Amino acid sequence: MILPEFSATEQEKLLSSRVLVLGAGGLGSGVLYYLSAAGVGHIGVVDFDKVDLSNLHRQIIHFTEDINKPKVLSVKEKINKLNPEINVITFEEKININNIEKIIDDFEIIVDCLDSFNDKFLVNEVCVKKNKKLIHAGALGFEGQILTIIPPHSACLRCYFPDKQPEDLRQSCSEAGILNTCVGVISVLQANEVIKLITGIGSVLTNRVLKFNAKDSRFYELEINGKNKNCPICSHVYAHVNNSYHF
């Protein structure tokens, strides 16, 4: 709270906020740790999987003793040890078209830490429909990317990928491998976006995709020229957008 733009008011905003993290793997681990440490008061976590030995190099919220334990239970235990005052809401299930709306209803900000682009597209569609702020990210190999979506004002995931998932993220981590530090960098950036959205400090990554290459230690941006008028997901709200909205 000694930061020039950060005061008790901003800390109280974090305490009263409700953030849902979809996925308790590599990206989710970093996001969950940093949001908990920052004092986000209500954190939801969705994951249907159990901890596996192969997860531990990048999924830092899980320990060796957690192998075969449901990931959401492992997450809840770690967060409560770090900050027992945080309300952790767990969903031990796989998101699908039948449960996603009900799961996200009680949360203000949705953090996409999922592996599957089919699931990412589903989450994007529902968040646009329900005007939920969404922080998308993906990481594979030595590359990662992040984009913040604020319906109906900014470009959504389908504006950027209108037809299909990106070629460089088609494989899974188990197929292509992943550098743990690359996942860590992207997850911290996701947590940073959440904190900025809640407190109103700074600007967020709307209408631009930030990409990171761990081999070269380089960041670069891909600009999106606002919402795509022909986007199959968000074009129906294009005409009603308040273009003066400040991100």
Q: Is residue 246 part of a domain?
A: no
* Confidence at residue 234, expressed as pLDDT on a 0 to 100 scale: 86
247 in a structural domain:
no
The total of structural domains in the chain comes to 1
Is 245 within a domain? no
Residue 109 located in a structural domain: yes
- The mean-pLDDT minimum among 40-44, 68-72, 237-241 falls in 237-241
Give dist(CA 168, CA 177) in Å, integer: 12
Q: What is the pLDDT of residue 244?
A: 46
In-domain check, residue 160: yes
For tokens 């529902």, the residue is 126
CATH of the domain at 66: 3.40.50.720
User: CA 33, CA 28: separation in Å to the nearest integer?
Assistant: 8
24 DSSP assignment: -
In a domain? residue 2: no
Contacts of 29 (CB under 8 A, 6+ apart): 58, 59, 60, 61, 62, 187
Q: Is residue 3 part of a domain?
A: no
Q: Using one digit for the tens of pLDDT, what is the confidence trace for 165-218?
A: 655 455 555 566 889 999 999 999 999 999 999 999 999 999 999 999 999 999
Residue 69 inside a domain? The answer is: yes
**Picking from 31-35, 154-158, 173-177, 217-221, which range would have the lowest pLDDT averaged per residue?**
173-177
CA distances from 58 to 14, 23, 30, 206, 232 (A): 26, 13, 9, 27, 35
Q: What DSSP element (H or E) covers 173?
A: helix 173-176
Q: Write down how long the chain is.
A: 247
Going by the DSSP 8-state scheme, the letter that residue 54 receives in this structure is G
Answer yes or no: is pLDDT of 14 > 80.
Answer: yes
**How does the average pLDDT of the chain come out, rounded?**
90
pLDDT at 240 over 70: no
DSSP character for 226? Answer: S
pLDDT tens digits, 58-92: 999 999 999 999 999 999 999 999 999 999 999 99
pTM: 0.92
The arithmetic mean of pLDDT across residues 130-152, rounded, is 95
Q: Which domain does 144 fall in, by range?
A: 8-240
Q: 37-51, 109-123, 155-169 — which is least confidently predicted?
A: 155-169
